[in-house]
Amino acid sequence: MKIRILLICFIISLTALLPSKSHAWLLYHKPAFKGKVIDTETKAPIEGAVVAVVYTKIDAGLGPGWSSSPFDARETFTDKNGTFSIPSYTTITSPFSFNSFANVIIFKPGYGSFPSSQKVPRGINKGDAELFFSEDYGKEREIEVVVGVDKGPIWEYRKVKFGIVELPKLNTNKARLDALDFVNMPIEISSQKIKNLLKAYNEERAFFGFGPISWP
């Protein structure tokens, strides 16, 4: 353990002496994210949906294997026009950490959630989700999505409007309960960093008579 700590300190000290471009690999950076959330049927904006961006990184261990884990998050709400914006994010990582995907979660009680139960766009992978919310907002672009799952996932390139998410209004208790199960709560990070998402999630749990979940 002491050897690993000394090694990390040595690498950090060494990179501090190098030109800034030489140790850019220590930087974790994600672009700003922007989008709009609307009702699938009415196309009306959905106000007050929680939007959380969960930042993850890959840690290399001394032994075999790599692990990806969330380490920070930012959140906001959609406004009266259904739009949201989260600024770019930059921080310093350890020499043994690497950039991984940022996960976007959109949730409002009574609606389907993103990225699991939205109607449009369907089946975006994590890498393309960053592109979807950070490039060419409102413009129609091609992206790879899941178009069938009967005999396993079928991926095709389809044109979608970048940043525009359609969530279905859930009209039955079963649909709401099923959607709740699909919300992937990032319990690995401090609950204070996603307090609004946690509050909305617990409100939906309370609707079914379930107790709240919590963690430090």
- Integer Cα distance of 151 and 115 in angstroms: 21
The angle at the Cα of 100, spanning 94 to 101, to the nearest 5 degrees, equals 145
pLDDT digits 0-9 by tens, 122-165: 888 777 888 999 988 899 988 888 776 666 677 788 888 999 99
Q: What is the CATH number of domain 24-120+163-200?
A: 2.60.40.1120
pLDDT digits 0-9 by tens, 86-119: 999 999 887 777 788 899 999 999 999 999 888 8
The CA R_g of the chain, rounded to the nearest whole Å, is 19
Sorted by where each begins, the domain ranges of the chain are 24-120+163-200
- Integer Cα distance of 170 and 208 in angstroms: 14
End-to-end CA distance of the chain: 26
Residue that has been written with the tokens 């979660």 in this structure: 105
Q: Nearest 5°: phi and psi at 213?
A: -100, 150
> Which two three-digit tokens encode residue 21?
């471009």
- Beta carbons of 173 and 208 less than 8 angstroms apart: yes
43 CB-near residues (< 8 Å, 6+ apart):
166
